[in-house]
Structure 1
Amino acid sequence: MQSAQRSTTAPAKGAPPGAEPGQSATFAELLRRVKAEGLLDLRPRYYVGKLALNTSLLVAGLTAFVLVGASWWTLLVAVWMGFCGGQSSFMWHDAGHKAMFRSKRLATAVGLFHANFVNGISYGWWVNHHNRHHSHPNHLDLDPDIGRRTAIFDRKQYASRTRRQRFIVRHQGVLFFLLLVCELFKMQMTAYRNIARRQIRQPVLEGSIIAARAALYLGAVFWVLTPLQAVAFIVVQQAAQGVYFGMIFAPNHKGMELRDGEEETLDWLERQVLTSRNIRPSWLMDFVYGGLNYQIEHHLFPAMPQRSLPRARELTMEYCAERGIPYKEVGFFRSYREVATFLDEVAAPIRAGQAS
């Protein structure tokens, strides 16, 4: 497994000599096929183009913001900037997985710019958090993406929820999606707490970048717009980006197989495939999801450049069919329907008074 930081997980049973943590003999054959086609080779020119496109989207939004000026039409610009922030997250995501460049310094610079400066999120916190998620996807105790949610994925989690959270849980099939408007804000607050507690490697640097971003962002918004328009712009931009973030992560694992205290019994291949769901690819889906619609392949090969994921999908589907391993891929709308149905089914016994 290749990622921004090496996992401390011990190699799985049956792992070949010299394998990365988690690689099993079952996975080794798929890995050999992928390497034979050069799919793990870095493609820096491709990412230079991606970075240029992302910069163009941001510049277009900033230009529109200035040209529209103090008008309520600026709320459309706010939605666009929320979309741009989501697109920017793919840049720090791939940089964090070392899928862009071999240079750690260059990858970190891309990550700090797109996470801290563009979005006000701590890149250092995210890398650590995301690597742990990759090591233990959908594990009730070990996956931090499950632990930080108000929603529950198993009834045993209900006891730890507060009174307010329990109301949300009882209706989480609907409220989970409504609360996504707060997702960006929650990630920003997490960044501030981790920096204040010095729980990241470079708290001064990351804090300074986020502070500079806040000063420029708030200064520009309140300088160009009226106070009421400025507040509305911030709320709409935050909400739009939060929903976009939710669109990206919600269908990837929610409603897929859960793990609880049995991680050592699974090899790397099954651990990633059985807990992940792909969204059927097209040029539009690939752009909107930044390649994360190939969630299975991304989890199997975190350091794989986005451009190689379509071919890796073909190889993985073929290999899983040979081994009889279930491979889940659905359309856009069905993915969210499955998530909502799963969350509602988990909450149904609680609404009926069967919380235990």
Structure 2
Amino acid sequence: MDGIRPTTRRRPPDNASRPSSTFTELSQQVRGLGLLHRRYGYYWTKLIAAPLIVAGCLFAFAWIGDTWWQLFTAAVLAVVFTQIAFLGHDAAHRQIFVSGRWNDWVSLILGDLLVGMSYGWWQHKHTRHHANPNRIGSDPDIELPVIAVSPEAARRHHGVVLTWLRGHQGVLFFPILLFEGLSLHASSLRRVVVPGRLERRWAEIAFLSVRMIGYLVLVFIVLSPGVAFVFLAVQLGLFGFYMGIAFAPNHKGMPVVPRDMTLDFLRRQVVMSRNVRGSRFLDIAMGGLNFQVEHHLFPSMPRPHLRRAAPVIAEYCRAHGVPYTQVGLFTSYAIVVRYINRVGLGERDVFTCPLVEQRNIGAAVA
């Protein structure tokens, strides 16, 4: 599924002959249902609760003291930080306030100060992703440092270690996510210290410094060195894992678009995205990212409205011949693993012993 041939070969219906008007009609329908209206009560509740929950967790951490039971605190903090990151994601997409300035500062406080992720770094990267999801050369989310998402990336020449990792990336995908938290913090620090255009750089530096230095000082004051290092490993590992499994099902394994292919906005966003079917608990657990199609079509739509918008958009896509993908959670993970395994291995099987494979090849040649 590394191209878009099955979609482009389909003959569009007559009413899709004007692609620029196709999304306009849907947008008018969604707007008429009030699905783009702000949800101030919902978001103010979360904005007030976020710092209070973090403060409560840190108080409990200091009260519990130097014990291995703190590993449970680390797991709780990983979940809390991820949920706050989801809230920052909503603010960055202008879902909370009408004012762009208010949304920006909320994103800075939530992302930089509470979570330790640079809002400026994330915004630059995520904006490019939304503009061209799964487009080679344009979407940074398919240009990953370790995992090859596109066949083009897998074919590039790399060192021995990276080549081996990509050859086994299907099996190693979930373990690799344990390092995502460390990678997110490192990328954030690199973004704010490296010269280049970055709005509110000094605010980000100040917030990140307070968050990272203050957090480390607290951990090593309360815990002995051995427990502290394990605590940080668990917290960072689970945070990265949680973030990874929330974002991975959305586009991995969906069509990858050549850089020279042109698609109208509706198809560009819907065909490259995948929804994850589930209950309202899944909506909370994934921060609304399970409605990826709706989010990509209407990034500023408040999270509580995504579930209501989904059947409307699904029906509209069916009526206009636009493939709308929705699967269960574990099915989505199976698709992702199978896809990246195929990209990394080609026709080879990761579970085949190399010696047996060489013997079979030799026998075939003989």
**TM-score under structure 1 length normalisation:** 0.89
Structure 2 residue corresponding to 1:105, chosen from 101, 107, 113: 101
Could you tell me which residue of structure 1 aligns to residue 74 of structure 2? 78
Could you tell me which residue of structure 1 aligns to residue 288 of structure 2? 291
1:281 positional shift: 3.1
1:285 positional shift: 0.3
Contact 1:269 1:300 in 2 (8 A): yes
1:268 positional shift: 0.7
The range that moved more, 249-258 or 105-114, is: 105-114
Could you tell me which residue of structure 1 aligns to residue 171 of structure 2? 174
3-state SS of 1:24 partner: helix
Residue type at the aligned position of 1:116: D
Which segments of 5 or more consecutive residues in structure 1 lack a partner in the other structure? 1-22
Contact 1:150 1:161 in 2 (8 A): no
3-state SS of 1:330 partner: strand
Structure 2 residue corresponding to 1:45, chosen from 41, 44, 49: 41
Contact 1:118 1:213 in 2 (8 A): yes
Could you tell me which residue of structure 2 aligns to residue 312 of structure 1? 309
Contact 1:54 1:88 in 2 (8 A): yes
Which structure has the greater CA radius of gyration? 2
1:350 positional shift: 6.8
1:351 positional shift: 4.4
Contact 2:74 2:234 in 1 (8 A): yes
Structure 2 residue corresponding to 1:273, chosen from 270, 284, 287: 270
1:155 aligns with 2:151: yes
The range that moved more, 120-129 or 45-54, is: 45-54
Contact 1:278 1:295 in 2 (8 A): yes
Contact 1:34 1:40 in 2 (8 A): yes
1:230 positional shift: 1.1
Deviations 1:182-225 (A, max 9, x none): 11111111112121213322222211211111221011111111
Residue type at the aligned position of 2:236: Q
1:300 positional shift: 0.4
Distance (whole Å) between structure 1 residues aligned to residue 122 and residue 95 of structure 2 = 16
Could you tell me which residue of structure 2 aligns to residue 237 of structure 1? 235
Structure 2 residue corresponding to 1:256, chosen from 254, 257, 260: 254
Distance (whole Å) between structure 1 residues aligned to residue 339 and residue 346 of structure 2 = 12
Query: 4+ residue runs of structure 1 moved beyond 6 angstroms?
Result: none
Aligned residues: 330
Structure 1 residues 55 and 283 mapped into 2: Cα distance closer, same or farther (>3 Å)? farther
Residue type at the aligned position of 2:204: E
Residue type at the aligned position of 1:128: H
Distance (whole Å) between structure 1 residues aligned to residue 45 and residue 159 of structure 2 = 46
Residue type at the aligned position of 2:21: A
3-state SS of 2:178 partner: helix
Could you tell me which residue of structure 2 aligns to residue 18 of structure 1? none
The range that moved more, 102-111 or 231-240, is: 102-111
Distance (whole Å) between structure 1 residues aligned to residue 142 and residue 23 of structure 2 = 25
Structure 1 residues 62 and 25 mapped into 2: Cα distance closer, same or farther (>3 Å)? same
